[in-house]
Chains A and B, each alone.
Chain A
């Protein structure tokens, strides 16, 4: 295996949420994150994977190592070809939800991680990329 292989977890049903977050935690620990930070990363992965199952049914979680100028981190990409989000700004507001869930997903994930980017187009799917840097 290469030194820092990318890890991909297909999200097709709710048991995949658990698999994705366990792989994320294991990877974060391997990269030297504290156990507390690994829990934050695993929790963010759980919510992102949950959004895929709830809104798009199928998608992919990809874990990658990212190198900054003098720091290393982990990036988590959650991508799907689902219905997309028509109003991203609204989806980032606390309490907003269209699936009857808690509506805490995206704003909460943003608080758990250091960087957060979302691209979504109605009818074309959603990609969320979050990063956390090792302290």
Chain B
């Protein structure tokens, strides 16, 4: 299942719809990076509220997405990691390292707006 990428002003929002295969995650990674370049986006929000499991592959892909987008000069926020998923991630030993996370879409947008408010 492909992840839709929505453009909202200078930001892109990718919302995970359901359980994603590795191929879907890889596709999201390249799709997002291409869109950031094409649309000159400054911020990306990846909403993982619907994600049932965050295993080692999914968290590595999210980290890679954030790092690639940072190299492009834009900022990524992962939003909506469910408490149960967060608990399992910690047990498994997974971290998102230096990737920014926020409670939900609203807080993610607030973070980006705050970050870029002095740049216009």
Q: Chain A residues in contact with chain B, CB under 8 A?
A: 14-15, 17-18, 21-22, 25, 35-36, 39-40, 42-43, 46-47, 50, 94, 101-102, 104-105, 107-109, 111-112
Contact = CB atoms under 8 A, between A and B. Distances in A.
13 contacts: A15-B21, A18-B19, A21-B52, A25-B52, A36-B83, A39-B52, A40-B91, A42-B52, A46-B55, A102-B94, A105-B56, A107-B93, A111-B92
Given A39-B88, A104-B93, A112-B91, A21 B21 contact: no
Interface in B21-79: 21-23, 52-57, 60
A50 B52 CA distance: 16
Contact of B55 (A25, A50, A94): A50
Contacts, number: 73
B84 A36 contact: yes
Contacts of B22: 14, 17
B53 to A, nearest CB: 5
B112 to A, nearest CB: 28
Contacts of B89: 43
A101 B92 CA distance: 14
A105 B59 CA distance: 13
Contact of B92 (A25, A36, A104): A104
Contacts of B57: 50, 101
Contacts of B20: 18
A14 B23 CA distance: 8
A128 B55 CA distance: 18
A39 B85 contact: yes
B56 A17 contact: no
B116 interface: no
Contacts of A46: 53, 55
Contacts of A17: 21-22
Q: Which 10 A-B pairs have the closest CB atoms?
A: A108-B92, A14-B22, A46-B55, A39-B84, A43-B88, A102-B56, A15-B21, A36-B84, A104-B93, A108-B93
A18 B57 CA distance: 12
Contacts of A36: 83-84, 87
A40 B87 contact: yes
